Structure 1
Amino acid sequence: MSDHLPAPSAALLCRAAQQLSTLADLQRTALLGAVLRLAGAGPGCAVTALADDLGTDLRTTTRHLAALEAAGLVAVQEHRVRPRLEALEETAAALLAALPVTALLAQEPSLDRLFRHGRLTGLPVLARVEERARLADLLVRLLPAGRPLAETEVNGVLATVADDVAAVRRFLVEECRLTRGAGRDYRRVDSGA
């Protein structure tokens, strides 16, 4: 990415992957659901109550609880289990904060309404000339400057913020922030250039 924009750290990506892979297991997801149901807002629920509720043996329940605890999704203390779903919220917030587009949006907060969870939800209408120019300036800063870019490279970067990559690439060309050379390479054009 260009302009020395932040990117999620390896540790943050590992934490997110661990949480997601832990929840991908149906038995663990059912166990977490049982913890939520049985613990409520109280001090937690007993490990034996969870095993009974799910109809599993204590050893299997304990093994799955260990995985949930390692992912930060439950807290186990003195054979009582409490849910920690805020761990998912913390990871999601940290991932969003680490996205390159988030740093750019902090400099252009008026464009924040065009994004949801770091993803571009739509392009401004043609009548909103100034907003279109500011969005184009923001998006082009995601691309490396000073060198030719293959279409696949442009698409890869734009895919980090948009589902319709072709529309966003076309938007940047229309807004004169991206040019296409005869050799099918693209070049970033900054607004001051």
Structure 2
Amino acid sequence: MRKWITILFYAVIAALLILIWEKVRSFKLFKDREAVTTHNIVLKEISGLGNLELVKYAYRDVVEQSIARDFLPDPKAILIIQGEAVGCIDLRKVTADDIVGRGDTLVVNLPKPEICYHKIDHSRSKVYHTEYAFMNEGLLLEEAYKRAEQQILQSALDSDILEQTRQNADLVLKPLLENTTGKKVVLKYPMEGELRRLK
């Protein structure tokens, strides 16, 4: 019995110390030292680009992330995430065979619209609040950012970003080609099906 009382006593002391640490940390009694940053950057790859970006969806997400613990309080974090997803058409896939002249009409067979990238804007995102996270903060934030990035992609797909990309191609690319060629331009896409995400 005495053993259990001792264990309970130490558990209560540990919980109190964690609570005190969280309260002290939230009052910013400890001043942050000036950060020192060094860089050792190496150019890794040069890639040619051919994506015509046609629409950008901007998102703001409030993410609550926690880690379930058995004995100690659950570490929690609340983040305010800013991010974006961009729809595009990869013009590198257009070949001479995809452009067909029919009298005064030019038919251009374009590839399917894609999400060329989706990302979190870390410079505009911030950690709003953390609780009991002093040992798990890195893991909490990494998981929260990863989930937020996946949610941005899914939200963009659910909001028909690919269809909006196709519509914007008609608004942007069609007049440009018509003015350049002096012909009526018809933009065509592959048969309907699952519009894919750029790998």
Q: TM-score normalized by structure 2?
A: 0.23
Q: Whose radius of gyration is greater, 1 or 2?
A: 2
Q: TM-score normalized by structure 1?
A: 0.23
Task: Write 1 or 2 for the structure with the bigger share of helix.
Answer: 1
